[in-house]
Amino acid sequence: MTVVNVSFAAAGFLGIYHLGVIEGVLRHGDKLLCSLKACAGASAGALAATVMITAPDKLQHCKDFTYRFARNVRSQSFGAVTPGYDFMLELRGGIEEILPPDAHQLANERLHISVTNSKTRKNCMVSSFSSKEDLVQVLLASCFVPIYGGVKPVEFQGQKWIDGGFTDSLPILPLGRTITVSPFSGRQDICPVHKGRSNLYMRLANMSVVFSKDNIIRLNQALFPPSLPRLKELEQEGYQDAVRFLEHEIWMQ
């Protein structure tokens, strides 16, 4: 097998789909893992990529946090934008708890995080981290949606950054094959199967998705988390789609 990378799309609370994919790969994808060079991602996809590179043993912990985080957002009167609720602070707490102390060392040159410069609106891929705090800051920047996450962009290395999904929601790395993962039906390697007849596609910052009712519902659920049973369905869907991909590529263990 040639060198491969895995890239996870911006997904909001549908990042639980990514965690299902990761579980499928960890259980059945030894052939893929042996050739894995790097992971990339934007927003929630960056969080998933970080877990795969630095803390695969914390996968269940990450799922539990996602369920708890979604429940807390749902319980707010106006969701994430409810006055007095600090979305980014809760996200930071989860990241800090899950990542190991040497996460930045494990991530160096193996993790590529998409962020957007808040001033120039240009994309930047960050793959070098001098400390765990540096890595945490870049992850927060990649997840920061203005208004939804607050009013002040995340600062890193003297500049201000916002969600990487605005400019590159599904990074493709230059060397080797990049396996793309998305919770939206489309042309990605691992994604939900489109069940309708629509042949219309739309581009979402480097991600090609089907223009369909199901995807519109998923886009809404990315910011306004669905119920726990639905989140668990999405997780299982990610797992099954990963297994289907591995079988198709004849990489199944």
Whole-angstrom CA distances from 141 to 46, 70, 124, 125 are: 10, 19, 11, 12
Phi, psi of 31 (to 5 degrees): -65, -40
Q: Is 143 exposed, middle or buried (0-12, 13-18, 19+ CB in 10 A)?
A: buried
Q: Which residue has the tokens 């097998």?
A: 1
Measured distance CA(159)–CA(173) in Å, rounded: 24
Q: What is the number of residues in the chain?
A: 253
DSSP tally for the chain: helices H, then strands E: 9, 9
Which amino acids are annotated catalytic?
43, 163
- The residues facing 114 across adjacent strands are 42, 125
